Structure 1
Amino acid sequence: MDDCIFCKIRDGEMDTEFIYEDDQLMVFADINAQAPVHLLVVPKEHIPSILDVEDYNLVGRVHQVAVELAEERELEDGFRIVNNCGPEGGQTVNHLHFHLLGGRQLQWPPG
């Protein structure tokens, strides 16, 4: 998708510091952080939303990486893994992604 910001990040068209990357996923800080720790776990494959997932092993991999990153950041006392689906569900980028939110003073809903 030519206009997808996450595809542009994946393709190196935007200067982004990856916190984690493998052949399926990329992880970077959310530029509009809603918590002390706010990372985006994004599949490299362009999948518009959770409704379009065909291989749910990918979703399991997302959660595995998110838990590893939460442990590295010592968030064992609490964190959230959030996926927004569709405009009424709060999805603002039409590329599947998951938010890892944690840290002291984490509030819900954000903002």
Structure 2
Amino acid sequence: MAENKEEGEAATHGRGEAWVESLFSDDLEKAQRLRNRAAQIQASNTERLCRTRGLRDLLTDFTSAVLLSKPEDVFEFAREYFSAFVETDSPDQPLVNTKPSG
């Protein structure tokens, strides 16, 4: 179980090959499995992003806004930027999709 958690962390934190090698310098097989899993996760995420046109457009617009505005605090800018997309009627309620899937 800890191995899967470590694999996911390496893939999502983008630390790269040097981090993998230092983490598993005594176990090359484990390091290779970690690299393979990170590559699988990255490919899956890229594929999902390419299939989701609306998300891609949203991220492109956000990236353009960041490059134009050049904010000092990108995280604060992102919070403000994306808060425009949040409905304020019931902020404590989870988002539920009522449309049928498929």
Q: Which structure's residues are more often helix, by fraction?
A: 2
Q: Compute the TM-score of the two structures, normalised by the length of structure 1.
A: 0.27
Asked which structure has the greater CA Rg, the reply is 2
Q: Compute the TM-score of the two structures, normalised by the length of structure 2.
A: 0.29
Greater relative CO (CA pairs within 8 A, separation 6+) = 1
Q: Which structure's residues are more often strand, by fraction?
A: 1
